[in-house]
Amino acid sequence: MTDFEPRIIGFLCRWCSYPGADLAGTSRIVYPPSLRTILVPCSGRVDPLFVLKAFQDGADGVMVLGCHPGDCHYLEGNYHAQRRYALMHRLLEYVGIEGERLLIEWVSAAEGGRFAEMVREFTAQVSELGPWGGRRVDR
């Protein structure tokens, strides 16, 4: 699939990852337009339901980005997120949604370049898997 552009939902935390994405923008770093960002107060705010809902409504991949461990504005939100998504990842894989479609990573406000790089890599990874939304199973 060459002309497939995945739809990726990104949950970006308000204190680190969103400013990080902002920095990528103000620094004129180019990254794929496949990412739709959603601003959340903290990566701990991202209920696993959000991720499920995104997949249900046809997202091809979901990124959850937060502050580095220890840097959370609310002290512990990202630790909770880490536990949740370690489990969620395994569960999604088990019910047949490839684990590569879910990414949880830490991006600080100073890492605009790294953010762009991450989106590029994740887009490539999801493109390789092909579309998830609306996929029909032979039965």
Partner 1 sequence: MIDKIQAKAKELLERGQVSCFIGYEEGTRRKVRPAFIYEPQDVDRLIWDERCTYNLAVYLHQFKSPLKRGEEPPRVGILVKPCDSRSLNVLFHEEQIERKRVYIVGLTCEGVKVNGQLQERCQRCSERVPLVYDLLVGEEPNEVGQENYADVARLEGMSPGERLAFWVREFERCIRCYACRQACPACYCFECVAEQLDPLWMGIAIDLPQKQFFHVMRAYHLAGRCSGCNACEEACPTGIPLSLLNRKIAKEVEALFGYRTGQDAETPPPLATFKKEEELPL
Among 5, 22, 71, 98, binds partner 1 (CB under 8 A): 98
Contact 108, 16 (CB under 8 A): yes
DSSP assigned state of 85:
H
Q: Is 5 exposed, middle or buried (0-12, 13-18, 19+ CB in 10 A)?
A: middle
Q: Answer yes or no whether residue 39 interacts with partner 1 by CB under 8 A.
A: no
Q: Answer yes or no whether residue 59 interacts with partner 1 by CB under 8 A.
A: no
Q: Which is nearer to partner 1, 91 or 124 (CB)?
A: 91
Q: What are phi and psi of 10, to 5 degrees?
A: -115, 120
Residues 66-95 that bind partner 1 (CB under 8 A): 69-70, 76, 79-80, 82-95
Q: Which helix (H) or strand (E) holds 8?
A: strand 8-13
Nearest approach, Cβ of residue 26 and partner 1 (Å): 30
Kindly list the residues in this chain that would bind partner 1 in the complex (CB under 8 A).
48-49, 52-53, 56, 69-70, 76, 79-80, 82-99, 102, 104, 137-139
